[in-house]
Amino acid sequence: MKNQRLIEARKQKHLNQTQLAQMLGFKGKQSVANWENGHSTPTLSTAIEISKILEKDVVYLFGHKVQVSQTKTKQEVV
């Protein structure tokens, strides 16, 4: 399921996927596209950085599901 909140928050800041990815230190937009399309979720540290850039709460953007690390599957943040 698409992450409409992430998509809208990014657009409200007038950023495209590539720009957001670069602000996060990624080379390309693929990670951002995957998060927006619901194929994956960012790590907690990346989700926090996204929330700062987009000025939205992490829970608002991602619910309670973010990755604990890049090697683990989706986990709930408690």
Q: What is the pLDDT of residues 37-49, one digit of tens each?
A: 999 999 989 999 9
CA 41 – CA 37 distance, rounded (Å): 10
Residue position matching structure tokens 């194929």 = 39
Q: How many domains does the chain have?
A: 1
**Does 78 score more than 60 pLDDT?**
no
pTM of the predicted protein model: 0.82
Decide which of 40 and 65 is more confident. 40
Model confidence band, residue 70 (pLDDT cutoffs 50, 70, 90) = low
Those residues whose C-beta lies under 8 Å from the C-beta of residue 78, and which sit 6 or more positions away, are none
1-55 confidence digits (pLDDT tens): 899 999 999 999 999 999 999 999 999 999 999 999 999 999 989 999 999 999 9
Classify the phi-psi angles of 13: left when phi > 0, otherwise alpha if psi is within -120 to 50, otherwise beta. Answer: alpha
Provide the CATH number for the domain around residue 21: 1.10.260.40
> How close are the terminal C-alpha atoms of the chain, in Å?
22
Where in the sequence is the domain holding 18, given as residue range(s)? 4-76
